């Protein structure tokens, strides 16, 4: 079964919120030129257009050269097109600017493995494990002090952690709790839909993707994932309609073009 994978931006955004990182470029008021370039970079990255993402993040870096997120994200784009040395440079720069940013250590470890620097990769892995251990220790202390964080963002963060561990049922419980706390939490609806899809519960997945789109009509990932669900339910015309919506917005969307071809084959058109 083809699994739906949540977009990197969604994961990164949630993780950053979880670690209390200020993500100013996610603000709707993007008057800062570097933030506008970064926003376009993230959008291109989500669509799988890594070369455009690199261009936009490079522009952002020219304007604001001390923003570690820009280097980190450009590094990931380079990684995805197999330019590992350029990816390594950017991830090194991200860590230089923010030595506590765990995500960069994790992806630098993967990059170093590609470059056969296994010792360096292991060092990065150990650092990540150390930081996770410290975070868990902090979480346990907070629980002992009976000061649990029951906010919607906290529940969503726990949902992502469970999802990354492969514990889908627990992840669904956390995303459901997040939705109970914030009925307009489109991210949690979308992620829960992904989990339902991966568990083969297609009607529930469809309901969650419908709700995501109701809350965020511009959420292209939700349209793409809903299309996959509709294919499972043999609603090929509905699946095609969702893909056509994506292609109307982004005509050269690579994943959507591939999915459209699969749908037309099913429809025997």
Tell me, yes or no, whether 18 and 139 share the same domain: yes
Instruction: Return the closest-CA partner of residue 55 out of 45, 47, 64.
Output: 45
Tell me, yes or no, whether 219 and 166 share the same domain: yes
> For residue 5, what pLDDT band results from cuts at 50, 70 and 90?
very low
Dihedral angle sign, alpha carbons of residues 135, 109, 253, 243 = negative
What gap in Å lies between CA 193 and CA 216, rounded to an integer? Answer: 14
Tell me, yes or no, whether 137 and 219 share the same domain: no
Looking at per-residue pLDDT, the higher value among 166 and 50 belongs to 50
Domain that holds residue 49: 8-144
Inter-residue contact 73 to 53 (CB < 8 Å): yes
CATH number for the domain spanning 26: value is 1.25.40.10
For the residues 133-145, what does the mean pLDDT come to?
Answer: 63
Tell me, yes or no, whether 31 and 103 share the same domain: yes
Residues 6+ apart with CB under 8 A from 91: 71, 72, 75, 104, 107, 108, 111
Q: What is the pLDDT of residue 17?
A: 37
Does position 194 have pLDDT exceeding 80, yes or no? yes
Instruction: Return the closest-CA partner of residue 21 out of 100, 94, 89.
Output: 100
Q: What is the pLDDT of residue 10?
A: 42
Tell me, yes or no, whether 213 and 261 share the same domain: yes
Mean pLDDT across the chain:
82
**pLDDT tens per residue across span 147-165:** 555 788 888 888 888 887 7
Q: Is residue 59 part of a domain?
A: yes
Q: Is residue 261 part of a domain?
A: yes
For the residues 9-37, what does the mean pLDDT come to?
Answer: 45
**pLDDT tens per residue across span 61-102:** 999 999 999 999 999 999 999 999 999 999 999 999 998 888
Q: Is residue 1 part of a domain?
A: no
Residue with tokens 């489109």: 186
Tell me, yes or no, whether 96 and 181 share the same domain: no
Tell me, yes or no, whether 179 and 132 share the same domain: no
Does position 238 have pLDDT exceeding 50, yes or no? yes
pLDDT above 90 covers a percentage of the chain that reads 51
């Amino acid at each position: 079964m083809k699994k739906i994978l949540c977009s990197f931006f969604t994961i990164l955004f949630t993780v950053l919120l979880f670690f209390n990182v200020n993500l100013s470029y996610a603000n709707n008021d993007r008057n800062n030129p570097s933030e506008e370039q970064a926003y376009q970079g993230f959008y291109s990255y989500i669509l799988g257009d890594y070369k455009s993402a690199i261009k936009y993040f490079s522009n952002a870096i020219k304007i604001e050269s001390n923003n570690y997120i820009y280097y980190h994200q450009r590094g990931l784009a380079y990684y995805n097109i197999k330019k590992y040395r350029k990816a390594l440079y950017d991830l090194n720069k991200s860590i230089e600017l923010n030595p506590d940013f765990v995500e960069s250590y994790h992806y630098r470890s993967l990059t170093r493995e590609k470059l056969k620097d296994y010792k360096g990769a292991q060092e990065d892995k150990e650092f990540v494990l150390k930081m996770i251990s410290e975070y868990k220790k902090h979480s346990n202390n907070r629980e002992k002090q009976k000061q649990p964080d029951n906010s919607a963002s906290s529940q969503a963060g726990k949902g992502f952690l469970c999802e990354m561990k492969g514990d889908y049922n627990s992840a669904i419980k956390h995303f459901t709790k997040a939705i109970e706390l914030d009925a307009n939490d489109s991210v949690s609806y979308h992620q829960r839909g992904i989990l339902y899809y991966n568990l083969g519960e297609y009607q529930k997945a469809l309901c969650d993707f419908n709700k995501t789109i109701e809350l965020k009509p511009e959420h292209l990932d939700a349209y793409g994932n809903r299309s996959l669900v509709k294919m499972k339910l043999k609603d090929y015309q509905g699946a095609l309609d969702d893909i056509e919506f994506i292609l109307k917005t982004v005509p050269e969307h690579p994943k959507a073009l591939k999915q459209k071809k699969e749908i037309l084959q099913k429809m025997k058109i």
